[in-house]
Amino acid sequence: MSDQQVNMSDTLREIGQQPSLWKKTIVHFSKKVELLNSFLRDIERQHKRVRVIFTGAGSSAFVGETLYPHIRREINQRGWDAECISTTNLTSTPDLFLDENVPTIIVSFARSGNSPESIAAVELADKIIKDFYEITITCNSEGALANRKREEGKQLVLILPEESNDKGLAMTSSFSTMMLTALYLFTNDKENFSEKLEKVASAGEKMLSACTELLPNLVKEDISRLVYLGSGVFEGLSRESALKFLELTGGKFSTMFDTSLGFRHGPKSFLNNKTMVVVYLSNQEYTRKYDLDMLEELYYEKNRGPLVAISGMEDPFIKKHSDIQVVNPELVSLEDVWLTFPYVIFAQSFAYEKSLDSGISPDNPSPDGLINRVVQGVKIHPYGGNE
- pLDDT at residue 115 in the model: 86
DSSP-derived letter for residue 276 is E
**Helices 18-30 & 33-46 angle (0-180, nearest 10):** 60
Q: Which amino acid is at 105?
A: I
Calpha distance 219→21 (Å, rounded):
27
- Which residue type, as a one-letter code, is found at position 60? S
Nearest to residue 177, comparing CAs of 111, 223, 226?
111
Rounded Cα gap, residues 148 and 131, in angstroms: 17
Q: Write down the pLDDT at residue 384.
A: 81
Q: In whole angstroms, what is the distance from residue 31 CA to residue 33 CA?
A: 6
CA gap 324, 321 in Å, rounded: 9
Ranges of the chain whose pLDDT falls below 50: 1-2, 4-6, 387
C-alpha to C-alpha distance for 55 and 18, rounded to whole angstroms: 22
* Pure H helices in the chain: 3-7, 10-16, 18-30, 33-46, 59-76, 87-92, 94-97, 116-128, 173-186, 193-218, 233-248, 285-299, 316-320, 336-357
CA–CA separation, 27 and 147 (whole Å): 23
Closest CA to 307 of 338, 265, 266, 263: 263
The reported pLDDT for the residue numbered 385 is: 58
What's phi and psi for 90, nearest 5 deg? Answer: -60, -40
pTM of the model: 0.94
What's the pLDDT at 364? 80
Cβ 260 vs Cβ 228: under 8 Å: no
| Separation in Å, CA 261 to CA 53, 235, 256, 287, 292 | 26, 11, 15, 10, 11
CA distance 68 to 56: 13
